[in-house]
Amino acid sequence: MHYLLPFFKWSDSTWLAETIRGSRLYFPIIETFHLLALTLLFGAILMLNLRLCRLVMKDLPVRQVASDLSPWLSWSLAIILVSGFMLFSSEAMKCYASVPFQAKMLFLFAAMAYHFTIYRKVTNTDREPKPVWSVALALISVVLWLGVGLGGRGIGFL
């Protein structure tokens, strides 16, 4: 982690970081957007996973459900990433020392890598995998995204 210290120090000292720290309102307002977008992201992921497991919208092809949910997913993820970076910059040195933050970033990297490669490939084809594979793929997705959320919750606690 030491080699990242200059980046954390720089984030902590930007105009953005100082502006957010200088107000009692900015942090909670940005965090509200962070969490609202998170509910949209989790909602979209959950619907797609339930469809993968053949529990909802069985008459619609997975591919169609995935493409209908895609803008919700991308926009909510974009809002989370931008608001997350803003929250982070305002307390970058706290994050540097935070194990939950490190875990959260690892989960985030793994969740995004998984989602935009293996998971996307499966949800973008017309041939559905066997039920046991669908459930496994859905479970991995839920565990990875949940890991990000729990890591985020842990930053304020631990």
Residues 133-137: contacts with CB within 8 Å, 24+ apart?
A: 134/52, 134/53, 134/54, 135/52, 135/53, 137/52
Distance of CA 155 to the CA centre of its chain: 15
Q: Which amino acid is at 40?
A: L
Give the binding site for ligand HEM (CB under 6 A). 34-35, 38, 41, 80-81, 84-85, 87-88, 91, 95, 108, 148-149, 152-153, 155-156
Least Å distance, CB 32 to ligand HEM, is 10
Minimum CB distance to ligand HEM smaller for 33 or for 57:
33
**Nearest distance in Å: CB 123, ligand HEM:** 18
Distance CA 21, CA 4 (A): 22
- Between residues 57 and 81, which has the closer beta carbon with respect to ligand HEM? 81
Token pair of 87, please? 């929250």
Instruction: Measure the CA–CA gap between 149 and 143, rounded to whole angstroms.
Output: 10
Alpha-carbon distance of 117 to 154, in angstroms, equals 28
Which residue, 85 or 96, has its beta carbon nearer to ligand HEM? 85
> In the numeric block, which tokens belong to residue 77?
């993820």
CB of 131 to ligand HEM, least distance (A): 28
**Least distance to ligand HEM from the beta carbon of 135, Å?**
22
Closer by beta carbon to ligand HEM, 66 or else 84:
84
